[in-house]
Chain A
Amino acid sequence: QKEVEQDPGPLSVPEGAIVSLNCTYSNSAFQYFMWYRQYSRKGPELLMYTYSSGNKEDGRFTAQVDKSSKYISLFIRDSQPSDSATYLCAMSAHGNEKLTFGTGTRLTIIP
């Protein structure tokens, strides 16, 4: 069993829809949770960074962490074609140590 599980998709939704992306994990020591966006043949770009449980909102993006269920989510509101990319969840037990990534979900927003 992988430490971090993420549905690879692909996921296709119409423009303007709400997108929900999720990861589950098995290591209860994880405390730092991140979402990265990666366009084709580019480096990952940090979207959201959260510590411990709770919600965090930034513009059209909302990250949720439920440590009791070992489940994290990223919501994208009013999705745009430019949101089409692969979304990677990542986590670590301590700040500044190695990140453990999910395999990524490929998202396509259909105009």
Chain B
Amino acid sequence: NAGVMQNPRHLVRRRGQEARLRCSPMKGHSHVYWYRQLPEEGLKFMVYLQKENIIDESGMPKERFSAEFPKEGPSILRIQQVVRGDSAAYFCASSPGAGSGGYTFGSGTRLTVV
């Protein structure tokens, strides 16, 4: 039973380019969460999605960031016109639903903006 799969593991983008981060939840999990981790900091919530719905995007920056979880395929976190401050580790987590007892995290995508 594969865990939460994130790809790519490492992503390098030049300033102004777009970054696309993908997350495939564990089998049977319909809830997906994205978190960002800056060096020496804890994880910061970005967005919570279910299939075809954004449930909570209170942690998403107002501009340049978007997320989706389509009916088919992985969840995508998209960052347009990246800046150096976007360099961070981005983690995806999934859960099967209410009362599930914690989330399972993927190994993350480390984005470096040069």
Residues of A within 8 A of B (CB): 4, 6, 8, 34, 36, 41-46, 49, 88, 90, 95-104
Contact = CB atoms under 8 A, between A and B. Distances in A.
Interface stretch (B67-75, B79-87, B102-110): B102-110
Say whether chain B's binding surface is mostly helix, strand, loop, or mixed: loop
Contacts of A36: 105
A46 B45 contact: no
B24 interface: no
B107 A96 contact: no
Interface of B: 4, 31, 33, 35, 40-45, 48, 56, 58-59, 91, 95, 97-108, 110
B106 A43 contact: yes
Given A43-B106, A44-B105, A45-B105, A95 B100 contact: yes
Contacts of B105: 36, 43-46
Contacts of B41: 103
B43 A101 contact: yes
Contacts of B59: 98
A44 B98 CA distance: 21
A96 B98 CA distance: 6
Nearest to A2: B42
